[in-house]
Amino acid sequence: MPGVTGDHYFTAEPATAAQPREVEFSVAGRDYTLASAAGVFSADRLDPGTAVLLRKAQLPAADAAGPLLDVGCGFGPITCVLATCAPAATVWAVDVNQRARDLTAANAARVGVADRVRVVAPDDVPAEVRFAQIWSNPPIRIGKGELHELLLRWLPRLAPDGVAWLVVAKHLGGDSLQRWLVEQGWQVERHASQKGYRVLRVTR
Ligand SMILES: C[S@@+](CC[C@H](N)C(=O)[O-])C[C@H]1O[C@@H](n2cnc3c(N)ncnc32)[C@H](O)[C@@H]1O
């Protein structure tokens, strides 16, 4: 998604002026108004894939202990929903894009969950943390090799009975990603399919 400066949404330090804005959406009967900015993924609206994920996947229960992980948090919609649904859980949010991390931290404060949300660069997640749930609308556009590397980095950090929820557009390879995950030894269920998006439920 190049902008005038050549930024991609996964640029580490977007050069584009931030041009702050707000994104409104509702999930599970709750309304969210989050801060967004140029230089991050889907800056002007809740991404339709993320919307399908949050509508179709099984959101964490109110007593979910966590920790939960949002891989590629962008401006933080998934993180904010997870932290709101699971008020006892810590949510880790990782992204390579500094502006995305800053927005996620600001949005966690907006929705009153900042005390339980850890927004960090991928290398700054402590090695010993294992996740009860991993959520991601993964960055398909970084390329297949890097996407596979990303998934092979984070999925092994699921707790033994953990579950990962992924959303991938069918036209961007949702079905081949499912096959590849199965080849890697993961149990993968196509939990839902809507508007051209596959919601995958991944377990050990
Ligand atoms: C498809 S976007 C989803 C953003 C957000 N979760 C949402 O639903 O709007 C994927 C995100 O992954 C980030 N990303 C790209 N490469 C990454 C990597 N290696 N590790 C973590 N995040 C990465 C991008 O910067 C982008 O914010």
Residue closest via CA to ligand 1's atom 27 equals 74
Look at residue 8 and tell me whether its pLDDT is greater than 80: no
Q: Mutate which of 23, 44, 73, 81 to test ligand 1's pocket (most atoms within 8 Å of Cβ)?
A: 73
Is 170 a member of any domain? yes
Instruction: Report residue 9's pLDDT band, with 50, 70 and 90 as the boundaries.
Output: confident
Q: Tell me, what CATH number does 106's domain have?
A: 3.40.50.150
- Mean pLDDT score across all residues of the chain: 95
Domain that holds residue 152: 21-203
Is 166 a member of any domain? yes
Distance 45 CA to ligand 1 centre (A): 15
Is 71 a member of any domain? yes
Is 10 a member of any domain? no
The span from the CA of 28 to the CA of 46, in Å, is: 14
| Two structure tokens written together for 36 | 């967004």
Residues 6 or more apart whose Cβ sits within 8 Å of residue 30? 84
Distance 34 CA to ligand 1 centre (A): 17
Provide the pairing of β-strand 131-136 with 68-71: parallel
Residues 6 or more apart whose Cβ sits within 8 Å of residue 196? 169, 170, 171
Is 13 a member of any domain? no
pLDDT tens per residue, range 175-188: 999 999 999 999 99
pLDDT at 2: 42
Is 11 a member of any domain? no
Closest CA to 204 of 180, 188, 192, 183: 188
Closest CA to 129 of 162, 153, 158: 158
List all residues whose CB is within 6 A of at least one atom of ligand 1: 9-10, 41-42, 47, 50, 71-74, 77-78, 94-97, 100, 122, 137, 139, 142, 150
Map tokens 């596959």 to a residue. 198
Count structural domains, the chain.
1
